Amino acid sequence: MIINILAGGPEELLPDLTEYMKENVKWLGVDRGVYTLLSKGIEPEIAVGDFDSVNGEEMLFIEQHVDELQKFKPEKNETDMELAVEWAIRQNPQKINIFGATGGRLDHLFANIQLLLKPILNKKNIDLELIDCQNNIYIKSEGTYEIKKTPDRKYVSFVPITLSVEGLTLTGFKYPLTNCHIPLGSTLCISNELIDDRGTFSFHEGIIMVIRSCD
């Protein structure tokens, strides 16, 4: 099962959501993202948020079209997105895709990127990815991973989010690496490119963020 989460970020930054409408997919709307889903003809199975970004008419429309509505007070310890991600993780899917979570406020962007750590911190084998029209972002702990070349995401960057990443090795890339120490704050691994149809990245200690981007 795949769970797709749509938040209320700028619609112009969304990818084509029809590409993610596959079998065995559940949609979850967050705050204004619920209204956006409904306006695109996608009915979410659940809606989560304090809904402070929709007006009364839009809220009524949401209430009429969503069976399960989890409405929270604005004064709470978690963001709407965190509540949504926690719900999604409890469903134990294979993958969670997050849309509408970039653009606008930088505090929300950094908070949403930090949420990518939740499966690792909770020892869950769930792929969690943040996607917009220009970027795919995900986080990995130590291991060996395959990565495929895709024309619409030419650039691949590796950003340590622990004090260091140890033993980073890149194969199939324009700028390969072998058993490198990458400290926090390093820009060594920004804007690499795959030269083979498939490549691999591996490391034996730390946590790394992978960003696939286009211009």
Residues 181-202: what's their mean pLDDT? 96
Rg (C-alpha) for the chain, rounded Å, is 18
CB 129 within 8 A of CB 137: yes
Write down the pLDDT at residue 141: 96
What DSSP assignment string belongs to 139-206?
EEEEEEEEEE--TT--EEEEEE-SSEEEEEEEESBSS-EEEEEEETT--TTSSEEB-SSEEEEEEEEE
CB 182 within 8 A of CB 158: yes
Amino acid at site 146 = E
Write down the pLDDT at residue 37: 95
Residues 196-213: what's their mean pLDDT? 97
Q: Which pairs from 172-176 meet CB under 8 Å and 24+ separation?
A: 172/147, 172/196, 172/198, 172/199, 172/200, 173/199
Write down the pLDDT at residue 17: 93
Write down the pLDDT at residue 15: 93
Residues 50, 68: Cα–Cα separation, whole Å: 14
Residues 8-36: what's their mean pLDDT? 91
pLDDT digits (tens, 9 = 90+) for 109-150: 999 999 999 999 988 999 999 999 999 999 999 999 999 999
Q: CATH 3.40.50.10240: which residues of the chain?
A: 2-133, 138-213
Residues 206, 161: Cα–Cα separation, whole Å: 8
CB 210 within 8 A of CB 156: yes
pLDDT digits (tens, 9 = 90+) for 140-178: 999 999 999 998 999 999 999 999 999 999 999 999 999
Write down the pLDDT at residue 109: 92
CB 204 within 8 A of CB 162: no
Tell me the CATH number for domain 138-213: 3.40.50.10240
State phi, psi for 155 to the nearest 5 degrees. -95, 140
pLDDT digits (tens, 9 = 90+) for 32-61: 999 999 999 999 999 998 888 888 898 898
Residue 103 has pLDDT above 90, yes or no: no
Residues 64-78: what's their mean pLDDT? 85
Dihedral, 115, 119, 121, 122 alpha carbons, nearest 10: 130
The residues, any chain, with a CB within 8 Å of residue 192's CB and separated by 6 or more, are 155, 156, 157, 158, 170, 173, 174, 175
Report the DSSP pairing between strands 46-49 and 68-71. Answer: parallel
Residue 74 has pLDDT above 80, yes or no: no
Architecture label for domain 2-133: 3-Layer(aba) Sandwich (3.40)
Q: Mean pLDDT, the chain, as a whole number?
A: 93
Residue 78 has pLDDT above 90, yes or no: no
Amino acid at site 170 = L
Residue 94 has pLDDT above 90, yes or no: yes
State the pTM of this model. 0.92
Residues 100-106: what's their mean pLDDT? 88
Give CA separation, 17 vs 21, 40, 86, 91, in Å. 7, 9, 22, 22
